[in-house]
Structure 1
Amino acid sequence: MAMVGLFWIAEGDVYLGAKPSGMAPGVRLTPEGVMGLGDGQSRLHLWEDVHALTMADVPLKSLLRRAGIVGGVAVETVMNLVLPERPLRSGEAPPMMTLRVESGGSGDTLRAYAAAAAGYSETEVGLSGAVLSRLTDGAATMATTLAAMADWGRTEGGAPRGAERERLLRRWADQEA
């Protein structure tokens, strides 16, 4: 399993944001459509009906965000040493992202947790948006792009570095149908 841009790819399954567990909200991209997962958003939007996919509330990588994560871990560690009877905190929930699904004259909002604790780079957000747009270009384009993403997920064994993630996103956004 690996994160590439806003996508979490695990053994051929493609998710937007973090792969959900239990009743946590999430979004899975399947050959059939965009599937909302979790409590209150379990539904499928068929690709043939989807006209646009737009992301919002995506946390961007910043020095402040990274410092906050490191600082939060440091403070929590000190507190656990000073007050050992205090139960360990599991930390805050990751930020939520929103996917707007436009289909047949109406829209729906699906939510998913961000998979990148320190946020996403602006380049990866932009390239991920291009991939999402590509998925709405028609059945052949969607099938080719999603298949390329899933195939990559089945054959790769780890999270790629930033430059490799950007290269993959560019390749998926520019796939020939």
Structure 2
Amino acid sequence: MAVVGLFWITEDAVYLGAEPVGTASGVRLTEDGVEALGIDHGTYWSWSEVRRIDVLDVPVRSAGRRLVSMALGSLLVAVTGDGEFPPAYTVRVETAEDAVEVSVMSAVVGGIYQPVEYELSRTLLDRLADGRATVGDLSAWRRDHAADGTPPREEREALLRKWADGWLSTSG
């Protein structure tokens, strides 16, 4: 498994947010389309049906603010003994007929994304929805790097730029 931006990539699947376990909700991206998973879901759309995939309420902070948030969270757990799940965010899948919102768990350590990875992930989602990118690019990378875990930040950003076809390669 590897986390690159908003994507949790396994040898078998690509998810937005963390891979759901049990009855937890989630969103799986395949070569053929998008699937909403979980007890209240179970909907599937082919890529030709998908007009847009949006993410809402994603915790995004600069590297410094992310570090402080994570440190304060760890301190709170140490003092109170109460641990929390990573923060959830919402994935909104829009088609010509409908829009479905699915809650997913954040996949990054500490649950907070950095701005560049977040923006590149949104660009990639736009390109997946309009057919200018494919899930196969993410899956192929994972197959080629099966023994590796999550790459360092610079490599994650480079991968997202590549998958998004270099559209933001001069900014960020």
TM-score by length of 1: 0.82
Residue pair 1:11, 1:150 contacting (<8 A) in 2 also: yes
Q: Which runs of 5+ in 2 are unaligned?
A: 167-172
Which of residues 112, 128, 131 in structure 1 aligns to 2:124? 131
Structure 1: how far apart are the matches of 2:73 and 2:58? 21
The aligned residue for residue 29 of structure 1 is 29
Does structure 2 conserve the Cα–Cα contact (< 8 Å) formed by 1:12 and 1:151?
Answer: no
Amino acid at match of 1:126: E
1:55 shift after superposition: 1.0
Shift of 1:113: 0.5
Report the identity percentage.
41
Residues paired across the two proteins, number: 162
1:150 equivalenced with 2:142 (yes/no): no
Q: In the alignment, residue 84 of structure 2 is paired with which amino acid?
A: E
Alignment of 1:87-166 (within 5 A): 89=82, 91-116=83-108, 117-138=110-131, 141-142=132-133, 145-156=134-145, 157-166=148-157
Per-residue deviation, 1:108: 1.2
Of the two, which has the highest radius of gyration? Answer: 1
- What are the residue-to-residue correspondences of 1:46-65 with 2, within 5 Å? 46-62=46-62, 63-65=64-66
1:67/1:110 CA distance change after superposition, 3 Å: same
CA contact (8 A) 1:65 1:118 kept: no
2:158 is the counterpart of 1:167 = yes
One-letter identity of the residue aligned with 1:101? V
Unpaired stretches in structure 1, ≥5 consecutive residues: 80-87
Separation of aligned partners in 1, 2:144 and 2:20:
22
| Offset from partner CA, 1:110-151 (integer Å, 9 cap, x none) | 22111122411111111001111111223xx44xx2111001
Q: What's the counterpart of residue 169 of structure 2?
A: none
Q: Secondary structure at the match of 2:48?
A: helix
Q: Identify the structure with the greater helix proportion.
A: 1
